[in-house]
């Protein structure tokens, strides 16, 4: 029986581990946190359930939907698409490329924005997010709709970031400079309510949430299936060494014990892997976040599932209602408010988040989400050290350098997951990619049994060039 060690028990690692046990691999999953789930975990405080901010499966990808449904055993809820943006003291319904919503913006911003839009600069050959955004929207709309929201979350200037950052953070930025007629076409399409377009095919986006618990039900079901098939999951475990011989990982030392292995699947951070090998190559940095999970008396004051807070003067980047995802996430006559406040590890927000509780309640009152701060009966604070990847303008080269270092050291090490350099906005992308990489790995094993080992190595290397 071939052995595989999977590092990280977030969705990417667990999906890969399940594929492997289903193909009779002897699998050990190593997770440094005390429990499985990664960003898919949930928090339980008595009868209240919260997730890591907003979490639902939101995709048009049929393969990912079918896979998620098979793991959830069709025990799911479909969520209504009700989200909003809060800016200049107003709520704008998602999607923003709807004329009636944009007309809610202050007249001064609209007029300035339209003038700037008409004379927006050309995009330079290698653009930062700032240059890219200005060339798309003109300066005023760029500042309000891109710079404000992005810099709030990643806490870095857009001038230092790659344009991909905007996609990652759900800031709707087109990938090419739109012409006037394209913009009108898009507005008409939205007003008519046309479904999402995907590679020329019409597909409806769905938003799914587990029916029988918090969002973590998905990862718990994965973990349960892995264990049922004989896989081992070690939580709170620490890797101290990865030994390689002749271009292959041969063993991993976990909590002081050496485990031999044939494959290593890594969904932890690239930086962590580089550090273990003593290499001075950076991976992708990540932004941190404080979650203020509030227990609140009464029913929600809006019908939105979540609100992206783009107002620069407010602390939070997003607010969501867990009981709108699933009513049982809060007891009767109460609701939860999950408030995402971006920060940097070690800054004042990170070290003393409790100091900001009153400010959070004040901002929620200004936004009209609380009538009065006394409605909050409890506030639970959670720290999320690695929330969203930060993409400096040269991130592709950085990741390529780190991947090359991995390739040179070990042919049997596979990188999957967001922190290991798979930059995809949504978890469905992480799930599909993890499954594809494992399938390619299994294919290489089949090749190895039918052709010479040299040929199999060449074939395997070719699949890893992605």
State the nearest-atom distance from the C-beta of 429 to ligand FAD, in Å. Answer: 7
Return the residue matching tokens 């590679």.
Answer: 199
Q: Among candidates 295, 187, 234, which has minimal Cα distance to 9?
A: 234
CB 367 within 8 A of CB 314: yes
Q: Please tell me whether residue 427 binds ligand FAD under the rule CB under 6 A.
A: yes
Residue-by-residue DSSP string for 105-138: S-HHHHHHHHHHHHTPPPPPSS--HHHHHHHHH-
* Contact stretch for ligand FAD (CB under 6 A) within 42-50, 261-269, 355-363, 393-401: 261-269
Residue 325: partners with Cβ closer than 8 Å, 6 or more residues away: 51, 56, 77, 79, 209, 215, 305
Is position 239 an interface residue for ligand FAD (rule: CB under 6 A)? yes
362-391: contacts with ligand FAD (CB under 6 A): 387-388
Contact predicate 158/130, CB 8 Å: yes
DSSP classification of residue 267: -
Give the distance between the most distant pair of CA atoms in the chain: 72
Token representation of residue 399: 């990741």
Which token pair is 422? 């798979």
Nearer residue to ligand FAD within complex by CB, 316 or 364: 316
Q: In the set 2, 3, 22, 33, which binds ligand FAD (CB under 6 A)? A: 33
- Work out whether strand 83-87 and strand 306-309 pair parallel, antiparallel, or are unpaired: parallel
- Evaluate the CA torsion angle 269, 394, 64, 95 in order and state its sign: positive
Closest CA to 158 of 183, 186, 135, 191: 135
* Shortest distance in whole angstroms from residue 330 CB to ligand FAD: 19
Q: Is 39 in the site for ligand FAD (CB under 6 A)?
A: yes
Stretch that binds ligand FAD, among 35-43, 100-108, 130-138, 445-453 (CB under 6 A): 35-43
Rg of the chain, C-alpha, whole Å: 23
Binding segment (CB under 6 A) for ligand FAD, from list 78-86, 185-193, 264-272, 321-329: 264-272
In contact, 241 and 59? CB cutoff 8 Å: no
Show contacts with ligand FAD in window 387-406 (CB under 6 A).
387-388
Sheet holding 376-384, edge to edge: 90-93, 83-87, 306-309, 318-320, 334-343, 288-297, 376-384
Distance CA 352, CA 94 (A): 33
Residue with Cβ nearer ligand FAD (288 or 296):
288
- With CB under 6 A as the rule, give the number of residues binding ligand FAD: 35
**CB of 145: closest distance to ligand FAD in angstroms?**
20
- The DSSP bridge pattern shows strands 90-93 and 83-87 to be antiparallel
Among 206, 242, 418, 441, binds ligand FAD (CB under 6 A): 418
Q: Contact between 133 and ligand FAD (CB under 6 A)?
A: no
Task: Using CB under 6 A, pick the residue from 430, 432, 444, 456 that binds ligand FAD.
Answer: 430
Least distance (Å) between residue 216 CB and ligand FAD: 11
Min dist CB 129 to ligand FAD, Å, is 19
Report the residue closest to ligand FAD, judged by CB: 10
Which position among 272, 300, 331, 392 is part of the footprint of ligand FAD (CB under 6 A)? 272
Burial of 457 (0-12, 13-18, 19+ CB in 10 A): middle
Whichever of 295 and 340 has its CB closer to ligand FAD, that residue is 340
DSSP conformation class of 161: B
Site string for ligand FAD, 53-92 (x = CB under 6 A): xxxx-x----------------------------------
Pair 296, 377: CB distance under 8 Å: yes
Which is nearer to ligand FAD, 39 or 136 (by Cβ)? 39
Q: Cβ 154 to ligand FAD, closest distance in Å?
A: 12
12 forms part of the interface with ligand FAD (CB under 6 A): yes
Q: What is the spatial distance between Cα 425 and Cα 415, in angstroms, rounded to a whole number?
A: 17
DSSP class of 159: G
Smallest distance from ligand FAD to CB 177, Å:
28
Among positions 147-166, residues that touch ligand FAD (CB under 6 A) are: none
CB 27 within 8 A of CB 6: yes
CB 285 within 8 A of CB 270: no
Q: Which is nearer to ligand FAD, 127 or 423 (CB)?
A: 423
Strands (DSSP E) found in 367-429: 376-384, 413-415
Position among 2, 3, 26, 32 found at the interface with ligand FAD (CB under 6 A): 32
Residue with tokens 């009868």: 47
Contact between 438 and ligand FAD per CB under 6 A? no
State in angstroms the smallest separation of the CB of 227 from ligand FAD: 17
Nearer to ligand FAD, 234 or 356 (CB): 234
Among 17, 52, 364, 402, binds ligand FAD (CB under 6 A): 52
Contact footprint for ligand FAD (CB under 6 A): 7-13, 30-33, 38-40, 52-56, 58, 239, 267-269, 272, 340, 387-388, 417-419, 426-428, 430
């Amino acid at each position: 029986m071939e052995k595989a060690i999977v590092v990280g028990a977030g969705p990417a690692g667990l999906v890969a581990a399940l594929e492997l046990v289903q193909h009779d691999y002897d699998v050990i999953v190593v997770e440094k946190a005390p429990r499985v789930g990664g960003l898919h975990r949930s928090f339980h405080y008595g009868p209240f359930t919260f997730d890591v901010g907003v979490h639902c499966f939101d995709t048009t990808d049929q393969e990912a939907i079918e896979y998620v449904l098979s793991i959830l055993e069709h025990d799911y809820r479909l969520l209504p698409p009700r989200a909003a943006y809060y800016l200049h003291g107003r709520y704008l319904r998602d999607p923003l490329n709807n004329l009636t919503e944009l007309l809610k913006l202050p007249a001064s911003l609209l007029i300035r924005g339209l003038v700037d839009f008409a004379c927006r600069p050309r995009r330079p050959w290698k653009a930062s997010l700032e240059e890219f955004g200005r060339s798309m929207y003109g300066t005023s709309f760029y500042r309000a709709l891109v710079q404000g929201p992005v810099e709030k979350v990643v806490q870095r200037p857009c001038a230092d970031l790659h344009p991909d950052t905007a996609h990652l953070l759900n800031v709707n930025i087109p990938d090419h400079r739109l012409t006037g007629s394209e913009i009108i076409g898009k507005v008409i399409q939205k007003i008519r309510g046309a479904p999402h377009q995907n590679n020329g095919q019409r597909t409806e986006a769905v938003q799914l949430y587990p029916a029988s618990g918090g969002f973590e039900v998905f990862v718990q079901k994965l973990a349960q299936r892995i264990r049922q098939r004989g896989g081992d999951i070690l939580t709170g475990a620490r890797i101290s060494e990865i030994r390689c011989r002749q271009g292959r990982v041969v063993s991993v030392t976990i909590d002081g014990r050496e485990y031999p292995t044939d494959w290593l699947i890594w969904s932890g951070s690239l930086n962590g892997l580089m550090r273990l090998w003593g290499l001075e190559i950076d991976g992708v940095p990540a932004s941190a976040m404080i979650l203020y999970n509030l227990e609140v008396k009464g029913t929600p004051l809006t019908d939105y599932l979540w609100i992206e807070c783009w107002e620069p003067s407010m602390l939070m980047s997003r607010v969501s209602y867990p009981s709108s995802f699933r009513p049982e996430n809060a007891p009767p006559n109460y609701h939860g408010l999950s408030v995402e406040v971006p920060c940097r590890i070690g800054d004042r927000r990170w070290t003393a988040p409790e100091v900001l509780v009153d400010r959070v309640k004040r901002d929620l009152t200004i936004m009209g989400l609380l009538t009065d701060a006394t409605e909050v009966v409890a506030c639970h604070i959670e720290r999320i050290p690695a929330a969203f990847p930060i993409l400096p303008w040269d991130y592709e080269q950085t990741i390529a350098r780190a991947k090359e270092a991995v390739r040179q050291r070990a042919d049997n090490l596979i990188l999957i997951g967001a922190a290991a350099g798979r930059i995809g906005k949504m978890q469905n992308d992480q799930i599909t990619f993890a499954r594809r990489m494992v399938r390619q790995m299994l294919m290489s094993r089949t090749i190895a049994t039918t052709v010479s080992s040299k040929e199999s190595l060449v074939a395997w290397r070719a699949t890893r060039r992605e």
